[in-house]
């Protein structure tokens, strides 16, 4: 596994990159989408909560993402493994230091910190904590391609949407 913050040798339009994306897509569309958004830097870090085969980890690394598997526990005490990926070593370290070997929790503080790492606008995170899934002005399609629930009249989400749309469309085509 490479620990270097890569220079991005692979261009997203290159056949090689598209090939890796297609393979990720075969494992899971959402995994490939998160990988793409994180590779592009739209999300500083992403978390995959389902089990991931070694091939998946390898593919993420091939597209210049740093990966780490983090042990957590759920309420029952059962251990779960999360996979996190990022282009930024500091984000990986922050996540590991904050959440490694800790129980999964949904406190406001946790949601705010996760929001920061996952690239969610703070206005949306805070609104969601107060009132989850409150109506907003997005279309169903726009809301569907996001990982955060946009706040009403959000000033940040509309500026993020084109980048999300590009990544989603590219993935659907590849
Ligand atoms: Zn917002």
Q: How far apart are the CA of 125 and the centre of ligand 1, in A?
A: 7
CA of 58 to the centre of ligand 1 (A): 34
Distance from the alpha carbon of residue 105 to the mean position of ligand 1, in angstroms = 22
User: Nearest to residue 81, comparing CAs of 101, 66, 57?
Assistant: 101
CA of 69 to the centre of ligand 1 (A): 30
Residues paired with 83 in a beta bridge: 48, 69
Q: Separation of 132 CA from ligand 1 center, angstroms?
A: 13
Averages of pLDDT over runs of 10 residues in the chain (174 residues) are 51 89 97 97 96 95 97 92 97 98 95 98 98 96 97 96 96 92
Q: What angle do CA 87, 88, 91 make, to 5 degrees?
A: 125
Give the Å distance between the CA of 142 and the centre of ligand 1. 14
Strand ranges of the sheet holding 66-73, from the earlier edge strand across to the other edge:
45-48, 79-86, 66-73, 102-103
Q: How close is the Cα of 19 to the center of ligand 1, in Å? A: 34
**Four-residue CA torsion sign, 39, 113, 29, 1:** positive
Number of other CB atoms surrounding residue 134 within 10 Å: 12
DSSP element (H, E) containing 106 = none
Q: Write phi, then psi, for 45 (nearest 5 degrees).
A: -150, 150
- Three-class secondary structure of residue 144 per DSSP: helix
Q: What is the distance in A from the centroid of ligand 1 to the CA of 136? A: 9
The model carries a pTM of: 0.91
| Dist. CA 124 → ligand 1 center (Å) | 4
Distance CA 23, CA 110 (A): 32
At how many degrees (to 10) do helices 15-27 and 54-62 cross?
A: 150
H-type alpha helices, 65-130: 89-99, 108-118, 122-130
Tell me, in angstroms, the distance from the centre of ligand 1 to residue 169's CA.
23
- Please give the distance, rounded to the nearest whole angstrom, from the Cα atom of residue 106 to the centre of ligand 1: 19
pLDDT at res. 75:
85
Residue 4: predicted pLDDT:
42
């Amino acid at each position: 596994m490479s620990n270097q913050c890569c220079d991005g040798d692979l261009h997203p339009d290159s056949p090689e990159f598209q090939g890796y994306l297609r393979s990720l897509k075969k494992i899971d569309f959402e995994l490939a989408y998160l990988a793409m958004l994180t590779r592009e830097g739209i999300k500083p870090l992403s978390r995959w909560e389902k089990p991931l085969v070694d091939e998946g980890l390898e593919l993420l690394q091939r597209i210049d993402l740093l990966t780490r598997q983090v042990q957590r526990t759920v309420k029952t005490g059962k251990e779960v493994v999360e996979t996190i990926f990022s282009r930024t070593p500091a984000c990986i370290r922050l996540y590991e230091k904050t959440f490694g070997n800790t129980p999964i929790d949904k406190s406001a503080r946790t949601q705010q910190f996760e929001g920061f790492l996952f690239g969610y606008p703070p206005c949306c995170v805070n609104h969601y904590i107060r009132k989850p899934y409150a109506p907003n002005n997005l279309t169903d399609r726009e809301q569907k391609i996001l990982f955060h629930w946009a706040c009403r009249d959000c000033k940040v989400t509309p500026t993020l949407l084109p980048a999300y749309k590009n990544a989603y469309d590219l993935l659907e085509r590849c």
